[in-house]
Amino acid sequence: MVKTERYNRTAIFLHWLVGLGILGTLGLGLYMVDLPFSPAKLQIYSWHKWAGMTLLFLAVVRLAWRLSHPAPALPDTMGPLSRLAAHAGHWVLYILMLAIPLSGWLMSSAQGFSVVWFGVLPLPDLVAKNLELGEWLNSIHLILNYTLIATLIGHIGAALHHHFIKKDTVMSRMLPLIKRA
DSSP assignment of 49-72: HHHHHHHHHHHHHHHHHHHHSPPP
Digit-coded pLDDT (tens) for 132-152: 999 999 999 999 999 999 999
Distance, CA of 179 to CA of 161 (rounded, Å):
20
Q: Read off the pTM.
A: 0.93
68 located within any domain: yes
Q: Name the domain count of the chain.
A: 1
85 located within any domain: yes
Distance, CA of 168 to CA of 163 (rounded, Å):
6
Helix/strand/coil for 121 = strand
35 located within any domain: yes
Average pLDDT, the chain: 94
Whether 1 has a pLDDT exceeding 80, the answer reads no
Could you tell me where the DSSP H helices lie in 69-114? 80-110
66 located within any domain: yes
Share of the chain above pLDDT 90, in %: 90
Name the band, by pLDDT with cuts 50, 70 and 90, for residue 30: very high
Neighbouring C-alpha atoms within 13 Å toward the C-beta of 1: 5
Boundaries of domain holding 92: 9-174
Name the band, by pLDDT with cuts 50, 70 and 90, for residue 2: very low
Q: What is the mean pLDDT of residues 159-172?
A: 92
Q: For residue 178, what pLDDT is reported?
A: 65
In Å, the largest CA–CA distance within the chain is: 62
18 located within any domain: yes
